[in-house]
Structure formats: C-alpha cells, structure tokens
C-alpha cells in the first residue's frame, strides 16, 4: 500500500511508516501524475484535493486532512467516487482557545480592563467554541454561546441569539465558512453589523476570513469608525487586503491553531482513522514524539488572584502581541503570508508547561486550564 503525505504534517513518517510504503510531497509541486498510484492521500490545508488532482488515480482508497477545516477538499467528488474521507476536527481546538485567551489578556492590559467584569460572546459552539467555553468557565469569566445549527439540532446547552451576542464586551467567532442557506456564515459581520460595534467592544475572528466582510471593515476604518478587531484569518488568503492590516488591533497569519500539539494531533487522528480502516491495532501515540518544552517550569505568585495568575501564565507561554508585531512588519503580499504560516516558530500548549503553584489558593483551577504540576 502506498501512502502519500504532505511534508508539513509533523511526525507523519513516524506514525505511518509501518502501515505502508510512504512517499512525501510538497503542495507546491504535487500533481495528478505524481499521485497516480496512491492508495492513501494525507494532506493539510495547502493541498487542494479535487478532480484535477485525483482523476489520474484509479486505486485511491482513503483521503484525509490533518486539519479541522475542510474547505480545500472537494467532498462531493470523493463521495461520487466512493472514497472514504476523514478530517481532524477538533485537533486545534485547544490551541485556538489559548490564542483567544492571549488576545483577551493583551487587550485587557492595553485597555485597563478587568476581565472579571466582561462578558464574552462565543459564536459557534463546536470543538473550538466548546474548548474556549471550558477555559472561561475555569476562570470564572461570564460568557454566552450562540449556535443556530446546534440549537435546531436539539443541543441541550443554553444558547442565545445574535442580538444578545452583539451586546457582549468580547465577541469571538468559531464557525465554519458556509456560503449560502439557512446557516450562512459568509459575511456574517457585514457593514451593517460591524457598524453596530462600539469601540469598547472586541471582535475576534479565528475561524474563517470570509465570516467578516474585510472590504466593509476597511471602508468603516477609512470613514473614521473605531473598531477593536483581532484577525487571525482574512478574506481571500493569502492575497489579503494589505491596507487593512494597520487598522487591526492584533493581526496574525492564520496561525491560531498552529501549536505543535495541535498540528501533530491532526497527524495522530489520521493515523487512528487509517488503522481503523485497515483493521490494525494502533500502537503509537502523540506523546511518544512530542519534545520536552523549553518553557518553565513557571511560578505562580501567591498574592495574585486567579485571573491575574492565569493572565501572567498565558503571556509567558504565548504572547499574541509578538506575532502581531512580526506579521505587521513582514506581511507585504501573498508570498510573505504563506512564508509566515509555513515557518511559524514552535508554539506550545499549556499542557506542555509545568507550573509550581506553591500555596496558591486556586491551584486546582490553574491545572484545570491544562498546566502540569511540577515534579
């Protein structure tokens, strides 16, 4: 069995080498002829999987993407050919939740906010929205969930309307890109809805760029409207509206989910799915390959409250403002956008970091965020 995997999948060789003959490829050079004998195709979001890529192959038995998003996969085409498809939904949920928390902490420091007084509106209660809700619950930060598809599907959680979300101090978006229909998300924040935001509110988009009308946002900024936007995702990536960047409070290159754990978890999820398809026992796990963290152990000051301690630890692990500064300096076109994503430095999740809480009264909450106790 021939397994082709994209070169940006961490630990792919380690996970898949015993399941078949492995071939690595780059999204820049892969074509239909190269994949003509592939039995298994494993990609990330940079490879477009469609008829153009696969029509030259008659033996393909499995396609999977090591990403939560599936916009790059023509699932209708795969279904017509009867080719099983799997995505790594949820692989980056923890990473994105920690990215959002960092954005909130940095904004709170800039605006002199007390996050305990703020209410967060989470739009989209799937893997990421749920992970973020869990973090905010641990920290005692008030939040509301909005997810019309899940509401209609009978999800038992308490959901609110978008009208209620629009009253929240922080609004953070975690929905798929849906171009039309009852649950359309494209242009969810159009000019009218963006105009309703006050300069005291914070809007974070770490899902899909098309959910916010970037042209409308630019026009509002140029008209003097003050908006507090955090954008990790952009319309028409990688050829984004460069003139919008200087107006954005915190700007990054679609890297919210790019922790080493998040990316490698995607590889592990595909390994487990392929083992199941082949009827083989999965005997490898992510912890076998992840390196030791170079951060920490960190120390919590006992005279802090929980939010102060969590904010300190968050920025010691991941300070979004550093990515913002680098992005605003380097992003000058599509190639630079791609380069920043491709060469994003190693970022770790809380779960890789040991923390010494001493006699801190809220130690349990710190570890509930994912941090490890010191040995």
Spell out the domain ranges in the chain.
2-87, 93-251
Tell me the per-residue pLDDT of 330-347, one tens digit each, with 9 for 90 and over: 999 999 999 999 899 989
Per-residue confidence (pLDDT) for residue 342, from 0 to 100: 86
As annotated, the active-site residues are: 208, 237, 254
Instruction: Summarize the confidence of residues 276-300 as an average pLDDT.
Output: 95
Note whether 177 and 184 are within 8 A (CB). Answer: no
Q: In the chain, which ranges are continuous DSSP H helix? A: 12-16, 51-54, 75-81, 93-111, 127-139, 148-152, 162-165, 191-195, 214-222, 260-278, 306-317, 320-330, 334-342, 363-368
Q: Is-contact 45 303, C-beta < 8 A?
A: no
Whole-number pLDDT of residue 375: 83
355-371 pLDDT, tens digit per residue, is 999 999 999 999 999 99
Fold of 2-87: Rossmann fold (3.40.50)
Does the global pTM surpass 0.85? yes
Among residues 90, 237, 87, which one has the least CA distance to residue 174?
90
**pLDDT at res. 274:** 97
The CATH number given to 93-251 is 3.40.50.720
pLDDT in tens, 196-219: 999 999 999 999 999 999 999 999
Common-topology check for domains 2-87 and 93-251? yes
Q: Is the separation of the CB atoms in 100 and 139 below 8 Å? A: no
């Amino acid at each position: 069995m021939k397994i082709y995997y994209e070169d940006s999948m961490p630990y792919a060789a380690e996970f898949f080498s015993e399941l078949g003959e492995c071939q690595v490829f780059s999204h820049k050079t892969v074509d239909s002829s190269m994949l003509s004998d592939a039995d298994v195709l494993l990609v990330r979001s940079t490879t477009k999987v469609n008829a153009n890529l696969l029509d030259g192959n008659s033996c393909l038995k499995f396609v999977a993407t090591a990403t939560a998003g599936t916009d790059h996969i023509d699932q209708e085409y795969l279904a017509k050919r009867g080719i099983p498809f799997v995505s790594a939904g949820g692989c980056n949920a923890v990473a994105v939740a920690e990215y959002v928390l960092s954005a909130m902490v940095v904004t709170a420091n800039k605006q002199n906010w007390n996050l305990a007084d703020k209410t967060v509106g989470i739009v989209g209660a799937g893997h990421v929205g749920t992970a973020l809700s869990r973090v905010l619950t641990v920290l005692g930060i008030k939040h509301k969930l909005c997810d019309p598809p899940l509401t209609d599907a009978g999800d038992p959680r308490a959901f609110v309307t978008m009208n209620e979300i629009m009253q929240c101090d922080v609004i953070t978006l975690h929905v798929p890109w849906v171009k039309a229909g009852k649950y359309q998300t494209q242009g969810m924040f159009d000019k009218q809805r963006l105009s309703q935001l006050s300069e005291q509110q914070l809007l974070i988009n770490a899902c899909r760029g098309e959910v916010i009308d970037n042209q409308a946002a630019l026009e509002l900024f140029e008209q003097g409207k003050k908006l507090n936007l955090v954008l990790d995702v952009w319309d028409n990536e990688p050829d984004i509206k460069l003139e919008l960047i200087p107006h954005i409070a915190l700007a990054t290159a679609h890297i919210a989910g790019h922790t080493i754990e998040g990316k490698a978890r995607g590889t592990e999820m595909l390994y487990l799915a392929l083992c199941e398809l082949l009827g083989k026992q999965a005997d490898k796990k992510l912890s076998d390959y992840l390196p030791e963290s170079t951060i920490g152990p960190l120390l919590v000051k006992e005279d802090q409250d929980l939010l102060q301690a969590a904010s300190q630890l968050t920025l010691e692990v991941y300070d979004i403002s550093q990515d913002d500064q680098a992005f605003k300096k380097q992003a000058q076109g599509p190639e630079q956008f791609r380069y920043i994503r491709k060469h994003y430095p190693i970022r770790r999740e809380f779960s890789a970091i040991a923390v010494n809480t001493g006699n801190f009264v809220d130690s349990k909450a710190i570890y509930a965020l994912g941090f490890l106790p010191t040995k």
